[in-house]
Structure 1
Amino acid sequence: MVMEAVRYYGTGKRKNAVARVWLKPGTGNLVINGRPGEKYLGRRLLLHMVQQPFVLTNRVGQFDVIARCHGGGISGQAGAIRHGIAKALLEVDPELRPILRRNGLLTRDPRVKERKKYGRKRARRGFQFSKR
Structure 2
Amino acid sequence: MITKLKDFRIGFDNAYYGTGRRKESIARVWLLRNTDKMIVKVKDSGKEFLLKDYVQRSSLFNKILYPLKLTGLEGKFGIYATVEGGGISGQAEAIMYGIGKALLKYNPDLRPTLKKAGLLKRDAREKERKKYGLMKARKGYRWSKR
Identify whether the pair has TM-score above 0.5, normalized to the shorter chain.
yes
**Residue 29 (structure 1) aligned with residue 37 (structure 2):** yes
Instruction: Please report the TM-score for the alignment, with normalisation by the length of structure 1.
Output: 0.94
* Residues 77-92 of structure 1: pairs in structure 2 closer than 5 A: 77-92=91-106
Partner residue in 2 for 1:17: 25
Deviations 1:48-76 (CA, angstroms, capped at 9, x unpaired): 00000000000000000000000010000
Q: CA deviation at 1:30?
A: 1.1
**What is the aligned counterpart of 2:127 among 80, 88, 113?**
113
RMSD (Å) for aligned C-alpha atoms: 1.3
**Residue 49 (structure 1) aligned with residue 57 (structure 2):** no
Instruction: Please report the TM-score for the alignment, with normalisation by the length of structure 2.
Output: 0.86
> Is the Cα–Cα contact under 8 Å of residues 14 and 34 in structure 2 kept in the other structure?
no
Q: Give the Cα–Cα distance (whole angstroms) in 2 for the partners of residues 101 and 108 of structure 1.
A: 11
Q: Give the Cα–Cα distance (whole angstroms) in 2 for the partners of residues 127 and 76 of structure 1.
A: 30
**Residue 76 (structure 1) aligned with residue 64 (structure 2):** no
Tell me which amino acid in the other structure corresponds to 2:99. I
Tell me which amino acid in the other structure corresponds to 2:24. N
Any stretches of 5+ residues in structure 2 without a counterpart? Answer: 1-10, 42-47
Q: Which runs of 4+ in 1 moved over 3 A?
A: none
Any stretches of 5+ residues in structure 1 without a counterpart? Answer: none
Percent of aligned pairs with the same residue?
48
* Residues 57-76 of structure 1: pairs in structure 2 closer than 5 A: 57-76=71-90
Q: Give the Cα–Cα distance (whole angstroms) in 2 for the partners of residues 43 and 119 of structure 1.
A: 38
